[in-house]
Amino acid sequence: MQTNLLNLDAGGLARFFADLGEKPFRAKQLLRWVHHLGECDFSQMIDLARPLREKLAEVAVINLPVIKAEQFSGDGTRKWLFNVGSDNSIETVFIPEGNRGTLCISSQVGCALECSFCSTGRQGFNRNLTPAEIIGQLWWANRALGRDPKGDRVISNVVMMGMGEPLANFEAVVSAMNIMLDDNAYGLSRRRITLSTSGLVPAIDRLRECLPVSLAVSLHAPNDALRNILVPINRKYPLSQLIAACIRYLDAAPRDFITFEYVMLAGVNDSESHARDLVKLLNLLPCKLNLIPFNSFPMSGYVCSSSEVIKRFASIVQESGVVVTTRRTRGDDIDAACGQLAGEVKDRSKRMEKSTIRVHAI
């Protein structure tokens, strides 16, 4: 069976070439050709000896996910639908803003965590993506977007905030992020890669040890009772454990704060008392709070908080000294906004058969 080299970071490629009797520096050459230059034809990799190129054509391939559809938003956001086989598709979103270009990448086909307000979670879960399917999203987006007039890549930041829980696919996500960071590939810094998690505490500690990138935590509630419903993984790893893991993470993090994401749900988690409880929860660590106006999807059972309520909520938290931002909704006309990514999932978890449950404030 041929090896898909897109699955291998620098360490994996070095081992692959060693097995072929080649020197480790071949890994750097391959990374540069595939990821920096976007070349997938071995015959065109002209600084590799011809016998090696011929050997690679026999034993290896560079298989990318296939683009199934592309959509353009009026605000400049772009969304790609990738076919990953077996009637499954994933979504990837590019968001331009000023001198920043952010690519939102998926890590799973669907998601198993069942956050009640998330369209991806409602679609159920099929499988983890491979490193090739994860990094392939960045490869294709770079090819589609090209470079700016200065010759720089348009994508300056990557967020692991697409379909799925990245830390539930730990090995593949770390391998893909290693490629993103490699100077011979995409050359991003750890500050420019953000991983968003719903709170898998042991995996947060593991990430801290092996590859601490910028961390964002999907919080969405200031107490365990409400978060148990909105973000069910909280039943296993309650807020006290999650906050403690975030404090530990700061010791190795590339930024001196943790970002907390909080979707604003009318009548559910947006009261002044919720804001005050949130202040008490977050006073133990340096952080930023990102308020996310809820982006509706069919049968969600939720409504977005009004702009007045969001402003009052933000004001209460800001008065405590916490930096608060309210995310600008982007790409909602093509269902590319936060919480709307669904792709096409051949659900193995049977979650789509469950009925919608309306959550009230706690």
Is-catalytic flag, 104? no
| Of residues 279, 115, 137, the one with CA closest to residue 199 | 115
State the residue for tokens 């890549």: 153
Question: What is the SS3 string spanning 225-264?
Answer: HHHHHHCHHHHCCCHHHHHHHHHHHCCCCCCCCEEEEEEE
Please spell the DSSP secondary structure of 209-230, one letter per residue. Answer: HH---EEEEE---SSHHHHHHH
Give the 3-state secondary structure of residue 4: strand
Catalytic residue, chosen from 22, 91, 114, 165, is: 91
Structure tokens that stand for 183 in this block: 């100077």
State the residue for tokens 């159920």: 124
Catalytic residue, chosen from 115, 209, 338, 353, is: 338
CB atoms within 10 A of CB 299: 9
Structure tokens that stand for 330 in this block: 């982007």
Is-catalytic flag, 91? yes
Give the 3-state secondary structure of residue 329: coil
Q: Is 121 exposed, middle or buried (0-12, 13-18, 19+ CB in 10 A)?
A: buried
Do the beta carbons of residue 137 and residue 80 sit within 8 Å?
Answer: yes
Q: Which residues are part of the catalytic machinery? A: 91, 338
